[in-house]
Structure 1
Amino acid sequence: MSSPDDVDAELRRWAADPKFPHPEAAQHAMRFRATGDVAALVALHDDPHPCGTTDILFAMASSKRTWLNWVPMPSEAISNIANEVGGRRAQGENLQLTGLGLSAAEPASAITACRRITGPLDIGIAEFPAPDIRLPLRPGRHQIWQYEGTEPIPTVPAPSSAAVAVLHEVGKEPWPSLLSGYLQAAPLGDLSLPDLLGLLAHLPGPPDLPRWQLLAKSTPTYWFRLLQPWVCLGILHHAPHEPWPTSTRRSVLIDLAFGIEDWTSDAALFALVTASYRDPDIRPEVRSLVRSRLDAAVAANRLVTIETSLAHLMLVTPGCTPEDRAVATAALARAEEDDEEEPVPPPSQKRRWWQRRG
C-alpha cells in the first residue's frame, strides 16, 4: 500500500475509526507530523504489536520529511555549476567548461560528482579556511579520501562492474521510509568492503532509466548525493554475524562520519540512525555521535555545506533531547536567514557562479 496523497487527513480518519486495529500508532504518526517530536515517531516504531500496518503508518509519518523519506539536495556552489552544465547538455546544448575557480574548498564528493557530470575539469580553490576540510575530525582506519594539495583523491580502488549493477538495482527508486530503505539495501551487504567503499568514493553514474534521464535535465548531481546513503545502508548489512560493538559495519560508518567533511559524513550517520531505530540498545551512542558531528559543524567559523542536513538528521534521531533540538533548529534558522539575505544578482550576472579558467 502506498501512502495517500493527503497523509494527514488519512491518519486522522484512521485514528478516529473504532475498527482500526492500531489507533495509538496512528495518533503517534499524527503527533510527529504536527510537532516534529521524534519521540512520537520512535513510539510508533516501537509499537508492541508491529505488523505491516504499523510499517505503513511509519512511512506515512515519514512522508516528505528530510532523511526519513528523501535525501537532501546538494547545496554546494560546485553542485550548482554541475547541475547547470549537465542540465543544459541533457537538453541538447553543446556547453563546454574546461576550468573554474572556487573561493573556498567544498566536499570531495561534490567535486567528484561535478567532474562525473562535466568531464575533466581544472578546479582552482582560493583557500581552505579553518577548520581545514582536508583533515578528518577523528583518526580512523577507514578513510576513502586523501588530498594531494588541493585535489581530493580516492584512497580505495574503483568498484567492480558487478557492484555498480547491484547499486543500480537497489537505488533505482526512492524509499518510502528509512526502514524500507534498509530492507531494500540488503543486496549491497553481499558486496565486499572494498567494493562498498569504492562505490562511495568513485561515484558511478546513474541507472539508464527514465527517472534518472529526467533528473539529468535539472539536477544531475542528485544521483551522486543519493547513492552514498544507499551504500551506507548496505554497509549495515555487511558481515552481519559480527557483534555490533566490535563490528566492521559500526567502525566503518563511524570512521566515515568523522572523516574529512564530506557527503559521506551525513550519509554514514544516516545509516547509524537507521540502525538505532531497529536496535534500541544503540540509540544513546548514535544520538551522541550525531550531536557531536553537528556540534563540529556549528562550531566551524566558515560555511559547512552539510550543516543543515546534519541538523535535519539530528531532529529525526531517536533520543533527540530538547537541547539537541534547539541546536538543530537554530542551525536551520541561520541557514534560512542566510538564504534570505543573499543578494539577487542582476540578470546579466545570474549564471556567473564561478570564474571560468582556460
Structure 2
Amino acid sequence: MLSGDVDADLRQMADDPGFAHQDAARHAIRFRASRDVADLVAVLDDPHPCEMTDVLVALAGSRRTWLNWVPMPSEAIINVANEVGARRARGEDLEVTELGLSAAEPPSAMTACRRITGPVEIGVGDFPEPDIRLPLRNGRHAVWRYAGSEPTPAVPAPSDAAIRTLHKVGGEPWASPLSAFVQAAPLGEVPLEQLLGLLAHLPGPPAMPRWEHLAKSTPAYWFRLLQPWACLGILRHREDEPWPESTRRAVLVDLAFGVEDWVSDAALFALVTAAFRDPGRRPEVRELVRARLDAAVAADRLVTIEESLAHLMLVTPGCRPEDRAVAAAALARAASDTGDEQPAPPPRPRKRRFWHR
C-alpha cells in the first residue's frame, strides 16, 4: 500500500530486498533529486516490466511538469480571462467589451479568453518577428488560420459525441504519460477531424467538482489541459499504421511546427509519450522537441510557450547535456523575468502585454 508520501514510498521500495524492482525504484529516487531524464528512462526500460513499472513512473513524475500536470498558461490575455471568470463565479456582475494586446498571443489563448468572457473585441497592436501567424514548417494539417489579426479555426467544430468522450477521458490530469496513453484509448476512436475540432474550438469543461472549484480561480486551465488529451487521441488514431508513414505521426509533427500555440507543445507531449513507450522513436522525438525549443529561444520577442517547451525538453527521452543546458537557460530566464532571485542569464526584454477596459 502506498502512503501518499511519494519519496518515502520510493525509499521503502528501494530498501526492500524482496522488491523485484529495487533498481528501478533507485532510479526513480535519483530522477526526483536530479531531474535527469536518463534515470526516468531507466525506470521505463526496466528489464522486467509489469504494472509496477507504471506505478514507479507515476511516482517518479509526481508533481513534475508534463509528467503529471500541464503548465499553467501565462499569457496576458489569460490573466484577464481568469480574473473576469473568477469574479463572475463569485457573483460579481462584470462585463468586458474590449481588450487590447500590445503584441499578438497564441490563438488558443485568445479563444480560451472569449470562451470565458464571452464575445469581446481584442485589438492587437503588433505582430513582431517571427510572425506568430506563420507556421514554422508548412504541413498538410493545421487547426488555425488568420484573417488579418484574428485567428479562426481551420477545422469544423467537434460533435457532441466527441465532446462527451473528451469529458469522460480527460476530466482529470494524468498520473503519468504511460497511464494517460492507456486512458486516451476512447479518444483514439474519435474521427481525426473531430479531434482537430476539439483543439481549435475548445469546448467547455465537464460538470465536475474540480472544474466548478477552478472556475473561481483559474477557469482557463481546462482549455490548456484538454489539448494534450486531444493530441493523445491523435496518437492513438489508426494505431495499425506503421509509425514512420502513419497519419498520427504526420498530424502531430505538423501541429507541433504549425503556428505558435498551445497546440504546439500539446502535440509534442503526445510525441514524447510515444517515445516513452517505444525506444525506437526516441531519437526523432528528441530532435523534434529540441528544434521547436530552439525556434522559441531564437525568437527576438516573448514566446509564451518557451518555458513550457523547456520543461518538455527536460523530460524527453534521450535529452542530451546540451539540450538540458538550453532548457535550463530558458527556465532561468523565465524565473528572472518573474522576479525569482536565483542566478540567471541577462533576461530578454519583455514589454507589458495588455491593457483592458
For this structure pair, what is the TM-score category when the shorter chain's length is used for normalisation?
over 0.9
Q: Give the AA of the match of 2:355.
A: Q
Equivalent runs, 1:127-166 vs 2, <5 Å: 127-166=126-165
For residues 174 and 313 of structure 1, what CA distance do their matches in structure 2 show? 16
| Paired residue total | 347
Cα displacement string for residues 28-58 of structure 1 (whole angstroms, at most 9, x for unaligned residues): 1011011111011001011011112221111
Contact kept, 8 Å, 2:272 with 2:316, in 1: the verdict is yes
Equivalent runs, 1:236-315 vs 2, <5 Å: 236-315=235-314
Paired position in structure 1 for 2:18 = 19
Contact kept, 8 Å, 1:206 with 1:223, in 2: the verdict is yes
For residues 192 and 52 of structure 1, what CA distance do their matches in structure 2 show? 30
1:130 aligned counterpart, secondary structure: coil
2:155 aligned counterpart, secondary structure: coil
Paired position in structure 1 for 2:185 = 186
Contact kept, 8 Å, 2:103 with 2:353, in 1: the verdict is no
For residues 169 and 159 of structure 1, what CA distance do their matches in structure 2 show? 15
Contact kept, 8 Å, 2:255 with 2:263, in 1: the verdict is yes
Paired position in structure 2 for 1:317 = 316
Q: Does 1:221 align with 2:210?
A: no
Equivalent runs, 1:319-338 vs 2, <5 Å: 319-338=318-337
Q: How many Å apart are 1:354 and its aligned residue?
A: 4.1
Paired position in structure 2 for 1:36 = 35
Q: Does 1:98 align with 2:97?
A: yes
Contact kept, 8 Å, 2:102 with 2:353, in 1: the verdict is no
For residues 35 and 209 of structure 1, what CA distance do their matches in structure 2 show? 36
Paired position in structure 2 for 1:112 = 111
Q: How many Å apart are 1:122 and its aligned residue?
A: 0.1
Moved more, 130-139 or 166-175: 166-175
For residues 308 and 4 of structure 1, what CA distance do their matches in structure 2 show? 32
Paired position in structure 1 for 2:355 = 355
1:147 aligned counterpart, secondary structure: strand
Q: Give the AA of the match of 1:202.
A: H
Q: Give the AA of the match of 1:192.
A: P
Q: Give the AA of the match of 2:306.
A: E
Cα displacement string for residues 291-340 of structure 1 (whole angstroms, at most 9, x for unaligned residues): 00000000000000000000000000000000000000000000001111
Moved over 6 A (4+): none
Cα displacement string for residues 184-216 of structure 1 (whole angstroms, at most 9, x for unaligned residues): 111001011110000000000000111110011
Q: How many Å apart are 1:4 and its aligned residue?
A: 3.9
Contact kept, 8 Å, 1:81 with 1:353, in 2: the verdict is no
Length-normalised TM-score, structure 2: 0.95
Q: How many Å apart are 1:355 and its aligned residue?
A: 2.8
For residues 134 and 177 of structure 2, what CA distance do their matches in structure 1 show? 30
Structure 1 gap segments, 5+ residues each? 343-351
Structure 2 gap segments, 5+ residues each? 342-351
Paired position in structure 2 for 1:87 = 86
Contact kept, 8 Å, 1:139 with 1:255, in 2: the verdict is yes
For residues 304 and 355 of structure 1, what CA distance do their matches in structure 2 show? 19
Q: Give the AA of the match of 2:76.
A: A
Percent of matched pairs sharing the same residue: 71
Q: How many Å apart are 1:5 and its aligned residue?
A: 2.8
